[in-house]
Amino acid sequence: MGNIEIDKFKEECGVFGIYSKSGLDVAAVSYYGLYALQHRGQESAGIVVSDGKSLMCHKNMGLVADVFNEKTLKNMKGKAAIGHVRYSTTGESKVENAQPLLSKFKLGSIAIAHNGNLINADVIRELLEDAGVLFQTSIDSEVILNLIARKAKKGLEQAIVDTVQAIKGSYAMIMITEEKLIGLRDPNGIRPMCIGKIGEDYILCSESCALDAVGAEFLRDVKPGEIVIIDDDGLKSIEFAEKTRCMTCAFEYIYFARPDSSIDGINVYTSRIAAGEELYREAPIDADIVVGVPDSGIAAAVGYAKASGIPYGIGLIKNKYVGRTFITPSQKLRERAVSVKLNALKVNVDGKRVVLIDDSIVRGTTSKRLVEILRRAGAKEVHFRVSSPVVKYPCYFGIDTPYRNELVGSQRTVDEIRDFIGADSLGYLSIKGLLNTLKGKEGFCLGCFNGEYPMSAPIENFKDYLER
């Protein structure tokens, strides 16, 4: 089967931060928080702890549970910590690019963990290099650290406010200094971030599921264009951007976020069930069983079954033990139909007309394989339904997307995609249908569906800014 996940958009990162006045074990809390955010990145993990005098960092390639052990965490004592799990969209996959990034400058030390993508990072990097700044990594976060360092004489808060005026793109960012935990979210709120509390201790993180995992209560989402500063005096908020409009990435609800998270007032699981119901209204079909592609298509399949009255059943079984180091079968073995990640549950699909629900189709190669697997298990008909609109455009905001010519939806009509994947019929949710399921807030980034992005791609006037 090769890698079933290869045909999905990849989320870039997850971030977590805690500031504790009560003496919580901040490294351990961060570990469990990152563990709950592991779905956002499986390439590297790291934690930086502040003990009030200095910052200590531990990071490496691999999953959270591989990078940290009890001994490492016991040695990381402090009152505040930030953590990061990474899937690279900018910068190569190597340990130098693992986050958080730690830097020393005039005001002391600062570390940063970033989820998102700056669309003008290359321009700023070039200008900083022209001004004599040396870079150790190839990632956006170092550009931000260097901008803050250049403005340091104004004091940390002003340096951060000045820096966010210069950067363009998507970011949910958490920083730590000796005395402060700082969170910021871009003026369009494309990537998510929320605030939680354990007693009087504060937490910032990418998704609310991480708050649940560490026993914290959800306070609120960080607002678009907001800087949150947490220290011994509590929480202070600075709104650095005028005319903000929360344009959360729609793919957070469709695929990236864990179903037990709520983002910007919308529960992820509820929105996926609603997408399945809406999908039936838009693309009904007569069939015997509704099957979801594990794990991301399951909630929508439950919704489709509910709306259609066709029974929901398990038709595909996932092998949970295929790790990142898994050896992909050779082409020759693949042709022999070596199924590694998913297998059909023959007893449920044999002789049946199957509705197969997935959350998205990116390249189409996996969809094609899934249809083949079901047919081989005896499915009489396979009707493919997708609980999101046709993906036609790449993303510039911190999602690893293929080039446009590799997106099956940018090259082909729905009928041509149906022929390519070998299904009896194919139906997608419309953009209007998607927005109907995301009730409770206005504004989403739908760039990968309609080519309309919350901000245009780069770039002007950074030279002026750097010389000010």
Poorest-pLDDT segment among 283-297, 311-325, 339-353? 311-325
Residues 6+ apart with CB under 8 A from 71: none
Which residue reads 């419309």 in tokens?
430
Residues 6+ apart with CB under 8 A from 117: 12, 89, 90, 140, 169, 170, 171, 396, 397, 398, 399
The count of other CB atoms within 10 Å of the CB of residue 135 is 13
Q: Is 7 annotated as a binding residue?
A: no
Three-class DSSP category at 157? helix
Q: Is 50 exceeded by the pLDDT of residue 465? A: no
The residue among 428 and 133 whose pLDDT is bigger is 428
Q: What amino acid occupies position 465?
A: Y
Q: What is the pLDDT of residue 329?
A: 64
Q: Is 445 annotated as a binding residue?
A: yes
Q: Which residues pair with 175 in a beta bridge?
A: 112, 182
- Length of the chain equals 468
Q: What is the pLDDT of residue 442?
A: 85
The count of other CB atoms within 10 Å of the CB of residue 416 is 13
CA distance 94 to 405: 27
Poorest-pLDDT segment among 17-26, 318-327, 433-442? 318-327
Q: What is the pLDDT of residue 328?
A: 61
Q: Is 358 annotated as a binding residue?
A: yes
**246 part of the active site:** no
Counts for the chain of helices (H) and strands (E), in that order: 18, 25
Q: Which residues pair with 202 in a beta bridge?
A: 19, 197
- Residue range 216-240, pLDDT digits in tens: 999 999 999 999 999 999 999 999 9
CATH topology of domain 267-450: Rossmann fold (3.40.50)
The residue among 25 and 135 whose pLDDT is bigger is 25
**CATH 3.60.20.10-classified regions of the chain:** 10-246
Banded model confidence at residue 3, pLDDT cuts 50, 70, 90: very low
Q: Is 359 annotated as a binding residue?
A: yes
Q: What is the pLDDT of residue 236?
A: 97
Percent of the chain with pLDDT over 90: 73
Q: Is 90 exceeded by the pLDDT of residue 94? A: no
Q: What is the mean pLDDT of the chain?
A: 90
Cβ(444)–Cβ(435) under 8 Å? yes
**CATH 3.40.50.2020-classified regions of the chain:** 267-450
Q: What does pTM read for this prediction?
A: 0.90
CA distance 129 to 466: 11
- Residue range 117-130, pLDDT digits in tens: 898 989 999 999 99
Q: What is the pLDDT of residue 139?
A: 87
Q: DSSP assignment, residue 227? A: E
- Residue range 48-91, pLDDT digits in tens: 999 999 999 999 999 999 999 999 999 999 999 999 999 855 55
**Helix (H) or strand (E) run with residue 333 in it:** helix 331-335
Q: Is 60 exceeded by the pLDDT of residue 214? A: yes
Q: What is the pLDDT of residue 466?
A: 39
Q: What is the pLDDT of residue 35?
A: 97
Catalytic hit among 13, 194, 205, 209: 13
Residue burial 321-354, b: 16+ Cβ < 10 Å; e: rest: ebeeeeeebeeeeeeeeebbbbebeeebbeebbb
Multiple choice CATH, 10-246, 3.60.20.10, 3.90.1330.10, 3.40.50.720, 3.40.50.2300 = 3.60.20.10
CA distance 186 to 164: 8
Q: Is 395 annotated as a binding residue?
A: yes
CA distance 188 to 254: 19
Q: What amino acid occupies position 260?
A: D
DSSP assignment string, 263-332: ETTEEHHHHHHHHHHHHHHHS----SEEEEPTTTTHHHHHHHHHHH-PPB---EEE-TT--TTPPPPPHH
